[in-house]
Amino acid sequence: MATQIFVNLSVDDLDRSVSFFTKLGYTFNPQFTDEKATCMIVSDTIYIMLLTKPFFQTFTPKRIIDAHTEVECSICLSAESKDAVNEMVAKAEAAGATIPNPATDYGFMYQHSFADLDGHHWEYVWMDPNGAPPQQA
């Protein structure tokens, strides 16, 4: 069985977050959805758990950061092309996301990012499989 990843993010308003990510084309697993949490399906092995802040707090004694002013992580997902990267960021912006930086083109890699409604940092990247620089020994 392939390793699965479940990224847990705290959100202020679960319904608002579900609406936002639905506009980006994501779907949700109803088996893992209630008024406190939902499971956003990214792929067969990648899931984003959106948890209300009070519920998220039950998993840790640490203070939950304000993702609008602090960064805990950057979620980076691959895309099939530069156009697909731009389309996802455009959908996010139309749904209310903010764009912190312009896209970056490294030739072999193209990247663009947005901050979702709760301030979490998302990046989408396309890499040319034939254009990555060789690894140095």
Length of the chain: 137
- Give the pLDDT band (50/70/90) at residue 136: low
DSSP β-ladder status, 5-11 and 46-52: parallel
Please state the rounded mean pLDDT for residues 13-34: 97
pTM: 0.89
Architecture of domain 71-137: Roll (3.10)
What is the rounded average pLDDT for all residues in the chain? 94
pLDDT at 78: 95
- For residue 82, pLDDT over 80 is answered with yes
Domain 1-61 and domain 71-137, same fold? Reply is: yes
Give the bridge partners for 49, in sequence order. Answer: 8, 39
Rg (CA), the chain: 16
Domain boundary assignment for the chain: 1-61, 71-137
- Using a 10 angstrom Cβ sphere, with 0-12 exposed, 13-18 middle and 19 or more buried, the burial of residue 91 is middle
pLDDT at 137: 61
- Give the pLDDT band (50/70/90) at residue 132: low
Q: Round to whole Å and give the CA distance between 6 and 40.
A: 9
Domain 1-61 listed as CATH 3.40.50.1100: no
Please state the rounded mean pLDDT for residues 12-33: 97
